[in-house]
Amino acid sequence: MKNFPIQSERAASRKARAAPASWRFAWLLAAPHRLGFFAGALMMSVSALWWAALLFSQAMGHAPQMALAPTLAHALLMALSFTPLFISGFLFTAGPKWLGLGEVSARSLQPAVVLMLLGWLLTIIGFHWHTLLASAGVGLVTAGWTRLCLKFIALLRQSRMARLSLTPQRNTHSFG
């Protein structure tokens, strides 16, 4: 017969109220989705705050200097800044499982994600200063995204799962 330790209600209550472990940056590198989702949420927040500040300043009659049309800058930032980061977090967490491969280290994705974040920061500064600076920022983002795409292509090539045929197959079933 097994003995189970009995815990007083007071001790159980103290355990439940214990402070959670403090947040650490290293937790983002525990899994690819943590890094990608954090970076995506960060970019979504920065993009929304940038646009809100721009609208507020215009409403107050202090239109900031823009090197690029605000609507074009908004479209670029809102369409492409955070979505690829969320996609990369999901893709490098679920993708290896679907492909029958081992886990991908979030640390291996970190340089590309940091490159993308720095690129977007440079791009936002370039929106207000000079289009060449914004273009250089987009170039860094492109380099980061390309690096992630090449890494995923390498996973596809490593996979031993059944390959999907891209050529249409002739239907051999007849009904009748």
The percentage of residues in the chain with a pLDDT greater than 70, rounded to a whole number, is 80
Q: Is residue 127 part of a domain?
A: yes
Domain enclosing residue 38, as ranges = 28-158
Instruction: Give the model confidence (pLDDT) of 2-16 as tens digits.
Output: 665 665 566 555 555
Q: Per the structure, how many domains does the chain have? A: 1
Q: Is residue 115 part of a domain?
A: yes
Q: Is residue 16 part of a domain?
A: no
Query: How far is residue 166 from each of residues 30, 42, 57, 91, 97, measured CA to CA in Å?
Result: 35, 37, 51, 21, 22
Q: Which residues contact 83 (CB under 8 A, 6 or more apart)?
A: 40
Q: Is residue 60 part of a domain?
A: yes
Q: Is residue 105 part of a domain?
A: yes
pLDDT at 82: 95
Q: Is residue 3 part of a domain?
A: no
Q: Is residue 167 part of a domain?
A: no
CATH of the domain at 153: 1.20.120
- Is the pTM higher than 0.85? The answer reads no
Does residue 168 have a pLDDT over 80? no
Q: Whole-angstrom Cα distance, residue 119 to residue 141? A: 5
